[in-house]
Amino acid sequence: MTQTPALLVLEDGRTFTGQAYGATGSTVGEIVFNTGMTGYQETLTDPSYHRQIVVMTAPHIGNTGINDEDPESTRIWVAGYVVRDPAIRPSSWRSRRTLDAGLEAEGVVGISGIDTRALTRHLRERGVMRAGIFSGEALVDDAGRRRTDVELLDQVTAAAPMSGADLAGEVTVAEPYVVEPVRGPVSAAEPVATVVAIDLGIKSMTPQRLAERGVRTHVLPARATAEEVLALEPDGVFFSNGPGDPSAAVHEIGLLREVLDRRIPFFGICYGNQLLGRALGFGTYKLTYGHRGVNQPVLDRRTRKVEITAHNHGFAVDAPLDGETVAPFGDGRYGRVTVSHVALNDDVVEGLECLDLPAFSVQYHPEAAAGPHDAGYLFDRFVELMTTGTVPDRATGATGATTTEESTTDAPSH
């Protein structure tokens, strides 16, 4: 079978030659690598990868094909896909189509047959950057001549960078919807709590994890107002994962401050962790190459246990790692904050806990549909916070200090 040539062009001018995989054509975006050996379907359908070309470091991809049960959203979100050795045929009984066919059906341009190890090492040394994949007619000009690498590079550098990008509005749900609690075979049971989840790029497994714990979840668009949130009388508010630069999420940060001012229990993951950090007055910064995969070690400082966790983030919170810190925003009106979780590979902030407000967040994905499930207890913490005002101590089973008591710092009345 004749294979269509394809070319990967990096922003710094390095190129890799391979074969088209998925759709042919051209695509540009920020190129990042994912170190997971499983869960590629969940990765492809994660809205957090919007405008990113994903490189899989595992060499053999596509073994289980594509099924209709595992997507985390209604479509593939990656801008492009890079694999070394695609499977010839899927071997899972759940498969409905090949990965190649699934990518082609949704117009996702990919490339295979390149040295993904060399590419990953290059990105680790130079940092993630913009890139483009070109195949088929995208490699030739109107006269039928092969376009030069310089011409293709110009197309890459014309793409918008990820820094400063406000993308939640491009991936959020168009209309609100509700996920009812599920207890065993019985659905729509009387909820133990009602949560408003702000969809910044939410994955379908997140409200499912809450439903398993008896929670009714109202999923609202990213541009929801405080009035729309409060009208649902939530016991808690959740901010999801999502793409983009947290410094650009002005509306969402303002909404979160409204939640904190009203002392509504809050839980955020990934992008939601970054937005909590900014709402509290901390900065955020872009990581050199980010954390992406299902094998990232994180220390829970409360329990001293190490969790293997699922990550997908290129930005991080800039907060003091040691001891308690008074949140800088509003002359300390949100009280004390501590870094609750830290990445063991590079000491990146992986979680925040407010000591004078009922709010906490983590940088990784406790819902982790493809695993691991070490961090699933965080949903239990959220439920406990909403129903009793306390959080359970995972190490001892004891209940921690109440976090909903009045803060010692002054907060505005609303």
- Residues making up the annotated binding site for L-glutamine are 48, 242, 244, 274, 312, 314-315
Beta-carbon contacts of 174 under 8 Å, excluding residues fewer than 6 positions away, are 221
- In terms of Cβ atoms closer than 10 Å to its own Cβ (0-12, 13-18, 19+), residue 8 is buried
Question: Among residues 270, 291, 313, 350, which one is catalytic?
Answer: 270
- Please state, in angstroms and as integers, the Cα–Cα distance from residue 68 to each residue in 24, 74, 163, 266, following that order: 24, 10, 34, 32
For residue 164, the number of C-alpha atoms closer than 13 Å in the C-beta half-sphere is 3
- Please state, in angstroms and as integers, the Cα–Cα distance from residue 405 to each residue in 329, 335, 351, 354, following that order: 20, 12, 22, 12
Q: Residue 101: how many CB atoms within 10 A of its CB?
A: 14
Q: Is-catalytic flag, 367? A: yes
Q: Residue 387: how many CB atoms within 10 A of its CB?
A: 15
Query: Which two three-digit tokens encode residue 255?
Result: 């909404």
Phi and psi for 18 in degrees, rounded to 5?
A: -155, -150
Q: Is-catalytic flag, 69? A: no
Q: Is-catalytic flag, 365? A: yes
Beta-carbon contacts of 51 under 8 Å, excluding residues fewer than 6 positions away, are 29, 30, 79, 162, 165, 167, 243
Query: Would you name the residues annotated as active-site residues?
Result: 270, 365, 367
